[in-house]
């Protein structure tokens, strides 16, 4: 790995634990103003001190985030779909590498939709993005998206997706937690982080998801709704950090939720 790529990549992970708590706030790119993210500035302000990296679009970055921020960010560069459109999987690259560099992104993110009608298109887009990103030393985060088909999230499917993403050159893969998650991690030659998915019933459920994912080999979380849709969002991100960085049990971490 070249120095620039190494440097950008290492900034995304905590120096001591080597793991990461990334805050995902990119949902608006296809969902519009989702609950609790109507005003991104307000949502993220109290959470930023506890965030290793932000994941977001250029629009929210430019309009809602202070340029003096010293936290690295992962720029979502794929899109072109919407929740009310004909196919959620119909994504392509919508933000250029030049723009990512101009904005000082530490990594770029793209979704791939394996097993859908747009599998080919999104995988070729990943390959092209990796080619460009390599040229400038920018890590690529591939997101194994499932759209509305949440039931797809099993170890067989997610292992396939993560492995393909790594084979096509992703530096890191974001996927969902599932039973037999160890299998997903072990068969993926690059680090894996987990998304939280839709808001779970309780905060403890989300802490358990993070705990199990780390136990099974994840390098961290890239979590959104289960943090900022919680009425205790700041306590929640602190609790997630204690699980991810300090290996604290779910019960102990739960005590941080005042
Ligand atoms: C997908 O919409 C985005 O890539 C999100 O960043 C991702 O799903 C993680 O957010 P959440 O934890 O809310 O699922």
In the chain, what are the domain boundaries? Answer: 3-194
Per-residue pLDDT for 242 more than 80? yes
- Ligand 1 cavity residues, CB under 6 Å: 24, 26-27, 55, 143, 195-197, 222-226
Residue whose CA is closest, atom 10 of ligand 1? 224
The Å distance, Cα 50 to ligand 1 centre, comes to: 18
Per-residue pLDDT for 148 more than 90? no
Q: Model confidence at 152, in pLDDT bands (50, 70, 90)?
A: confident
pLDDT for 80 equals 97
pLDDT for 151 equals 77
Contact 56, 75 (CB under 8 A): yes
Q: Which two tokens stand for residue 76?
A: 């979502």
The Å distance, Cα 197 to ligand 1 centre, comes to: 6
User: Cα(28)–Cα(48) distance, rounded to whole angstroms?
Assistant: 19
Q: Model confidence at 147, in pLDDT bands (50, 70, 90)?
A: confident
Contact 43, 25 (CB under 8 A): yes
What is the percent of the chain with per-residue pLDDT over 90, rounded to a whole number? 96
What is the average pLDDT score of the chain?
A: 97
Catalytic residue among 36, 174, 199, 219: 174
Looking at domain 3-194, its CATH class is alpha beta
- Catalytic residue status for 174: yes
Mean predicted confidence (pLDDT) in 42-53: 98
Residue whose CA is closest, atom 3 of ligand 1? 27
- Taking the alpha carbons at both ends of the chain, their separation in whole angstroms is 43
Per-residue pLDDT for 1 more than 90? no
Residue of 88, 222, 233, 236 best suited for mutating to test ligand 1, as the one with most atoms within 8 Å of CB: 222
- 229-236 long-range contacts, Cβ below 8 Å, gap at least 24? 229/35, 229/36, 229/199, 230/199, 230/203, 230/206, 232/203, 232/257, 232/258, 233/36, 233/43, 233/46, 233/47, 234/46, 234/47, 234/50, 236/203, 236/206
Contacts of 256 (CB under 8 A, 6+ apart): 235, 238, 239, 242
pLDDT for 258 equals 77
């Amino acid at each position: 790995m070249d120095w620039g790529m190494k440097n950008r990549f290492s900034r995304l992970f905590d120096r001591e634990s080597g793991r990461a708590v990334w805050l995902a706030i990119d949902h608006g790119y296809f969902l519009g103003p989702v609950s609790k993210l109507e005003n991104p500035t307000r949502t993220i302000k109290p959470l930023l001190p506890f965030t290793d990296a932000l994941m977001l679009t250029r629009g929210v970055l430019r309009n809602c985030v202070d340029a003096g921020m010293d936290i690295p960010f992962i720029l979502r560069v794929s899109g072109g779909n919407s929740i009310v459109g004909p196919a959620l999987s119909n994504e392509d690259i919508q933000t250029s590498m030049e723009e990512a560099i101009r904005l000082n992104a530490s990594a770029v993110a793209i979704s791939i939709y394996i097993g859908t009608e747009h599998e080919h298109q999104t995988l070729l887009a990943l390959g092209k993005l990796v080619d460009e990103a390599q040229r400038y030393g920018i890590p690529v985060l591939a997101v194994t998206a499932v759209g509305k088909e949440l039931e797809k999230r099993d170890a067989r499917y997610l292992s396939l997706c993560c492995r393909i993403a790594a084979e096509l050159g992703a530096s890191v893969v974001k996927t969902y937690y599932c039973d037999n998650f160890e299998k997903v991690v072990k068969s993926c030659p690059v680090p894996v982080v987990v998304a939280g998915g839709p808001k779970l019933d309780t905060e403890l459920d989300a802490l358990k998801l993070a705990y199990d994912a780390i136990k099974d080999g994840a390098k961290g979380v890239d979590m959104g709704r289960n943090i900022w849709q919680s009425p205790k969002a700041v306590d929640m991100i602190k609790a997630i950090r204690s699980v991810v960085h300090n290996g604290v049990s779910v019960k102990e971490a739960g005590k941080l939720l005042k």
